[in-house]
């Protein structure tokens, strides 16, 4: 009779008869006893460490002389990555023909008989089973006896996922048991849902705001990406992907991509976790003040256009605003989209930087040069201009002299023949008009024009319409030896003494007639705050000034007009 030991004798297969059978049973019993950890059959879990991964198997060190093995398919079906060094809780089921311990990740037993099945059904216990094949409407599962797993209770999303379960060990619960008909129906979905809830609760308890986590992009939406960070989905909002503006998450992310992110917010009540990738990088505004100064020229790309202006990204994560008023020197820009569109590359000038508010003001028109820089040289007082009417106000009309330069004709300066209540009564938008420059104020960006000053009037007509005592408006051409030469109209001049002594006014019989049109000009000048507005007269009389004068003497034959300052 062979002695018992930890291994089976080589001649066991040649022995026959009752004695040999008894000896074999004794030897096998001793073998099972020496490997008592196998007899637990999955009722006890131990920690295993992955040492290798093959094309179809995962090998783990479980602390025994021989390694354990798990099918790779159980990891692939759950989209679970596995690599050497990973640790898992497993239970020993037995040994395969090659001598490796067959393992299970479940801490449950497979029922041995119908009584065990009935007990598991009564207790609503979780049991282990092996999917043996696909049948109509679901799967066939070996739970000690043949059981049916409906597709709707399998937890699979589609037919492809259902097919992947074939050959796998699963955990399930008996939901129907008929011993007489040997009819057993099991449910896997309830178990997986319970496991998912448990995993989520555990993961929510583990994760803290500020944690650095690794995850896999599970799905993409218009507003962000859902990332699996270990059994629980977290939202990576599109605004937290990058400091640069991201229009669509799919432009920078893809499903299945492994990412690293920071936990920026946790809502325990709603069990929501928010992630951020840009939070792993320095804020782009840090140190911006040292790199950017007012007046600098910078290039950028228009990211979006609003009613009040356009936003331009000059560095990743650094946007500035070009306000509508800073787009063009001309007044004809009605909306930003008339000038800029998203995607345009533009050169701008930095107008202001507010680091505390992280606000950057940019200007587009400043790159084109200021048209008012040389306006005093281009449009001197007294010079003639010609241009189209661009807009009206109740007190006058605006004329375009050049790009970004407009002058205003006051309603009183439109006609010398009649009183005009509204400029639209005699003028139209786009109409080309001729006028004379009365005054230039570069600081206020204002040009005063007059149409009536350009109307040709003969000297005789002028003298007939303006008797002594009339108040008129004129431009001083030059001053010499106490006498100023004054232009009263095209080709009509008068002389005015600049000394305090003035000749006596030679008025015609009766009251002197006042030139209403000149009076209107004077009132306009007062409205503009210019000469004759009621302020103290300048002590220095010089060429180029537009002043109000009173006619003191007329010599019709000699066409001579003497004036005095009003």
Strand-pair category, 359-363 with 318-323: parallel
Q: Report how far apart the first and last C-alpha atoms of the chain are (Å, whole number).
A: 148
- For residue 334, pLDDT over 60 is answered with yes
Mean pLDDT across 312-325? 89
Segment among 184-193, 311-320, 334-343, 447-456 with least mean pLDDT: 447-456
Mean pLDDT across 44-49? 82
Comparing 195 with 297, the larger pLDDT belongs to 297
Task: Give per-residue pLDDT as tens, 369-385.
Answer: 777 777 888 888 878 88
Domains of the chain: 35-104 (2.40.50.140), 114-193 (2.40.50.140), 207-280 (2.40.50.140), 294-363 (2.40.50.140), 375-451 (2.40.50.140), 459-565 (2.40.50.140)
pLDDT of residue 512: 36
Mean pLDDT across 190-197? 84
pLDDT of residue 361: 92
Q: Which residue do the tokens 């000009």 mark? A: 521
Q: pLDDT band for 551, please (50, 70, 90 cuts).
A: very high
Three-class DSSP category at 565: strand
Q: State the DSSP H helix or E strand holding residue 37, giving kind and residue range, or none if neither.
A: helix 36-39
Mean pLDDT across 224-241? 89
pLDDT of residue 185: 94
Q: pLDDT band for 1, please (50, 70, 90 cuts).
A: very low
pLDDT of residue 276: 93
Task: Give per-residue pLDDT as tens, 151-166.
Answer: 999 888 888 888 888 8
CA distance 375 to 298: 28
Q: What percent of the chain has pLDDT over 90?
A: 19
- For residue 302, pLDDT over 90 is answered with yes
- Count of CA atoms in the C-beta half-sphere (13 A) of 302: 22
pLDDT of residue 502: 41
**What pairs with residue 352 in β-bridges?**
361
Q: pLDDT band for 109, please (50, 70, 90 cuts).
A: low
pLDDT of residue 523: 44
pLDDT of residue 277: 93
Residue 204, burial from CB neighbour count under 10 angstroms (0-12, 13-18, 19+): middle
Average per-residue pLDDT for the chain: 79
Q: Where are the alpha helices (DSSP H) in 248-345?
A: 288-291
Segment among 209-223, 341-355, 383-397, 528-542 with least mean pLDDT: 528-542
- For residue 552, pLDDT over 90 is answered with yes
Q: pLDDT band for 504, please (50, 70, 90 cuts).
A: very low
- For residue 313, pLDDT over 60 is answered with yes
Q: What is the token pair recorded at 440?
A: 């230039």
Q: pLDDT band for 16, please (50, 70, 90 cuts).
A: very low
CA distance 485 to 475: 9
pLDDT of residue 32: 43
Segment among 34-38, 190-194, 195-199 with least mean pLDDT: 34-38
Neighbours of 66 (CB within 10 A): 12
CA distance 317 to 245: 7
Comparing 333 with 297, the larger pLDDT belongs to 297
Q: pLDDT band for 35, please (50, 70, 90 cuts).
A: very low
Q: What percent of the chain has pLDDT over 70?
A: 82
DSSP 404: T
Mean pLDDT across 169-196? 88
Which residue from 417, 431, 421, 413 is spatially nearest to 528, judged by alpha carbons? Answer: 413
Q: pLDDT band for 15, please (50, 70, 90 cuts).
A: very low
- For residue 563, pLDDT over 80 is answered with yes
Q: pLDDT band for 417, please (50, 70, 90 cuts).
A: low
Q: State the DSSP H helix or E strand holding residue 491, giving kind and residue range, or none if neither.
A: none
Q: pLDDT band for 530, please (50, 70, 90 cuts).
A: very low
Mean pLDDT across 470-484? 87
Mean pLDDT across 50-57? 89
DSSP 536: P
């Amino acid at each position: 009779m062979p002695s018992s030991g930890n291994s089976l004798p080589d001649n066991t297969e040649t022995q026959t008869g009752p004695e040999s059978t008894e000896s074999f049973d004794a030897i096998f019993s001793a073998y099972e006893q020496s490997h008592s950890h196998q007899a637990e059959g999955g009722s006890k879990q131990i920690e295993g460490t992955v040492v290798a991964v093959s094309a179809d198997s995962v090998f783990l060190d479980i602390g025994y002389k021989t390694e354990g093995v798990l099918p790779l398919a159980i990891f692939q079906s759950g989209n679970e990555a596995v690599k050497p060094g990973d640790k898992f809780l497993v239970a020993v089921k037995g040994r395969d023909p090659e001598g490796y311990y067959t393992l299970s990740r479940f801490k449950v037993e497979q029922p041995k008989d119908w009584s065990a099945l009935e007990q598991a059904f009564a207790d609503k216990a979780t049991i282990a089973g092996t999917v043996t094949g696909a049948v109509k409407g679901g799967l066939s599962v070996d739970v000690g006896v043949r059981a049916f797993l409906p597709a709707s209770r399998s937890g699979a999303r589609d037919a492809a996922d259902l097919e992947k379960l074939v050959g796998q060990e699963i955990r399930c619960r008996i939901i129907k048991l008929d011993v007489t008909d040997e009819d057993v129906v099991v449910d896997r979905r309830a178990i997986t849902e319970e496991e998912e809830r448990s995993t989520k609760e555990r993961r929510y308890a583990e994760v803290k705001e500020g944690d650095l986590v690794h995850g896999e992009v599970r799905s993409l939406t218009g507003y962000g990406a859902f990332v699996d960070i270990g059994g629980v989905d977290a939202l990576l909002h599109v605004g937290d992907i990058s400091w640069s503006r991201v229009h669509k998450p799919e432009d920078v992310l893809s499903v299945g991509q492994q990412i690293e992110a920071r936990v920026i917010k946790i809502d325990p009540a709603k069990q929501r976790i928010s992630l951020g990738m840009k939070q792993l990088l320095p804020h782009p505004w840090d140190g911006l003040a040292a790199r950017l100064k007012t007046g600098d020229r910078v290039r950028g790309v228009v990211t979006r256009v609003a009613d009040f202006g356009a936003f331009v990204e000059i560095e990743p994560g650094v946007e500035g605003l070009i306000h509508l008023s800073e787009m063009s020197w001309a007044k004809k820009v009605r909306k930003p989209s008339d000038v800029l569109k998203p995607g345009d590359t533009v050169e701008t000038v930095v107008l202001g930087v507010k680091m505390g508010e992280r606000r950057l003001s940019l200007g587009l028109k400043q790159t084109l040069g200021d048209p008012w820089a040389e306006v005093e040289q281009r449009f001197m007082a007294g010079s003639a201009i010609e241009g189209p009417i661009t807009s009206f106000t109740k007190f006058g009309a605006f004329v375009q002299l050049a790009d970004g330069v407009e002058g205003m004709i006051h309603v009183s300066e439109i006609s010398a023949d009649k009183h005009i209540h509204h400029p639209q009564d005699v003028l139209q938008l786009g109409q080309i008009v001729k006028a004379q420059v009365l005054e230039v104020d570069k600081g206020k960006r204002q040009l005063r024009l007059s149409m009536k000053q350009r109307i040709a009037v003969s000297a005789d007509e002028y003298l007939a319409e303006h008797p002594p005592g009339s108040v008129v408006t004129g431009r001083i051409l030059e001053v010499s030896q106490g006498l100023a030469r004054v232009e009263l109209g095209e080709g009509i001049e008068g002389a005015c003494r600049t000394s305090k002594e003035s000749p006596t006014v030679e008025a015609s019989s009766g009251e002197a007639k006042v030139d209403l049109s000149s009076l209107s000009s004077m009132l306009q000048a007062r409205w503009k705050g210019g000469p004759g507005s009621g302020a103290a007269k300048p002590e220095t009389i010089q060429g180029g000034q537009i002043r109000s004068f009173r006619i003191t003497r007329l010599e019709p034959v000699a066409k001579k007009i003497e004036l005095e300052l009003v």
